[in-house]
Structure 1
């Protein structure tokens, strides 16, 4: 696996490393290198050498630095002199670039490949609001519709239960993993809330359109075989009850990713991210009876949890109340 060094002026490297872990999960062979006010070039170089020595594969190293020509860049460049055929540097690091680099390591084996690939994502992540302030070519590109209008139904690349709906882990890690053309929040409650709808639409990653629809509308869309050919849909639900209604209504889902269910009064929490009341457990049981498979993960590279065990623990805790 390609090793990654995030090198910046000040604590920025530590902060973006932490942010990347929150969204994509903790990563191996990634180190943050900081240049603090009391330090100089030699200190940065020594930190980089120490970081590289800790990597499983020291032949493939990617430096993500903040400024082209700054001290972190210069020291990485000096170290790279003897490794130009293998190592690479990308300047202007942002969170989108880091997440894309994490994702790329699953399919790309060289630092050169990843460095070339992540630049487009890093640039696309830089936007401005109001949109009319963007250059005309960027605004025109963003306005292109994603609906191909071809005959056919949706292809469902992911259906996920997440009480936070469209947030960083979905907009980056899951979107990169599943490559949807549309993200659809399926919720009667959110569909009635104009502010939440607007925020969700604005949170969509570049090149992906976000929609909010009530459950009955999603059932109707799932039956449409005239307008959604070639469209890859990522569905987001707040709770298992909405999933059950959608499946019983004819939305053809086979697997549901269970990512996050917020705690509230009367619920038990058998693990860090999932909370249940009796109605939740009953809904999951009905989904299982309907043939649904459960994929319990926050982010794609997490180990899958055992839903049966989680539900059993939740039921035992509820029985004690």
Structure 2
């Protein structure tokens, strides 16, 4: 696996490392090196060298630096000397770039040079502004024109729409989904399926704007998904489905949406629910719904991000029942 070193002035590098873990999960062969005011050039160089030596494969390394020409970059360049054939440095590091590096190195065939060559575009794509009118790098729209609203329009194709991921997540489209899961499953559309959100213009707008570059996001009611799933005109579509609750998912499945596997990402805690994992809390209704879905032959992958180990649904259902029963006795 390609090793990754994040280097910066101050606490930027460890901060990015922590943020990357929140989005993608903890990663092996990754380290952060910081230049603090009390350190000299030799100190940061020693940090970089020591970090690389601790990697599984110290001969295949990408160094992500904050600033071209800064001391961390200059010392990394000195360390790079003699390793140009297998190491690379990319500057201007940001979180989208780091997540892309994590994703790319999951392909064992990719070298450090392969990864570095793709990171520059990702880093640039991650720089956006709101209002979008402030982005003068894009062609100005005619006066009075409004951006086209994201709508699930017919696309060419035959057969049925392909669901590359079906996920239950109270937060719906957020950082872990927009980056990690999208990169893993490569959808061309993200479809949030919720009657409530479809009629909430503010939430709907925020979700549509949260879509990562190159992927359109749509918010539709459950009945529309049922119709779309049976329409052969959507056969060329690769879609990620996001449900807010297991109850919404069950309605879709009973309506004829063919789903074989579900990623249970999170169910938020609220009054009456018991916590069964660090991201999932359930009550009696949730337990009954999840078990009904499992009895219908649907497989569950319980984890927040791809790097997490999958947890058995049967085990967390057993834990939930025990805790719910114990609470009733009290």
Shift of 1:128: 1.7
Match of 1:284 in 2: 290
Q: Residues 157-180 of structure 1, C-alpha deviation per residue, up to 9 Å, x if partnerless?
A: 000000111011000000000001
1:180 aligned residue (168, 174, 187): 187
Secondary structure, aligned partner of 1:280:
helix
Task: Kindly indicate whether the alpha-carbon contact (under 8 Å) linking 1:148 and 1:230 is maintained by their aligned counterparts in 2.
Answer: no
Task: Kindly indicate whether the alpha-carbon contact (under 8 Å) linking 1:259 and 1:296 is maintained by their aligned counterparts in 2.
Answer: yes
Task: Kindly indicate whether the alpha-carbon contact (under 8 Å) linking 1:147 and 1:231 is maintained by their aligned counterparts in 2.
Answer: no
Q: TM-score, normalised to structure 2's length?
A: 0.93
Shift of 1:300: 1.1
Match of 1:165 in 2: 172
* CA RMSD after TM alignment: 1.8
Match of 2:311 in 1: 305
Shift of 1:229: 2.9
Task: Kindly indicate whether the alpha-carbon contact (under 8 Å) linking 1:187 and 1:213 is maintained by their aligned counterparts in 2.
Answer: yes
Distance 2:179 2:291 in 1: 30
Distance 1:301 1:84 in 2: 30
Secondary structure, aligned partner of 1:7:
strand
Match of 1:236 in 2: 242
Shift of 1:120: 1.6
Q: Residues 202-231 of structure 1, C-alpha deviation per residue, up to 9 Å, x if partnerless?
A: 1110111111111111111111112x2321
Question: Aligned ranges for residues 259-278 of structure 1 at < 5 Å?
Answer: 259-278=265-284
Distance 1:294 1:274 in 2: 13
Match of 1:156 in 2: 163
Could you say if the C-alpha distance between residues 269 and 252 of structure 1 is closer, same or farther in structure 2, counting changes exceeding 3 Å? same
Distance 1:277 1:48 in 2: 49
Question: Aligned ranges for residues 103-122 of structure 1 at < 5 Å?
Answer: 103-107=103-107, 108-122=109-123
Match of 2:207 in 1: 200
2:257 aligned residue (240, 251, 254): 251
Task: Kindly indicate whether the alpha-carbon contact (under 8 Å) linking 1:45 and 1:75 is maintained by their aligned counterparts in 2.
Answer: yes
Distance 2:39 2:71 in 1: 11
Could you say if the C-alpha distance between residues 71 and 233 of structure 1 is closer, same or farther in structure 2, counting changes exceeding 3 Å? same
Q: Which runs of 5+ in 1 are unaligned?
A: none
Task: Kindly indicate whether the alpha-carbon contact (under 8 Å) linking 2:26 and 2:307 is maintained by their aligned counterparts in 1.
Answer: no
Secondary structure, aligned partner of 1:210:
strand
Question: Aligned ranges for residues 1-321 of structure 1 at < 5 Å?
Answer: 1-107=1-107, 108-135=109-136, 137=138, 149-152=155-158, 153-226=160-233, 228-321=234-327
Match of 2:144 in 1: none
Secondary structure, aligned partner of 1:82:
coil
Q: Which runs of 5+ in 2 are unaligned?
A: 142-146
Distance 2:278 2:98 in 1: 25
Could you say if the C-alpha distance between residues 249 and 294 of structure 1 is closer, same or farther in structure 2, counting changes exceeding 3 Å? same
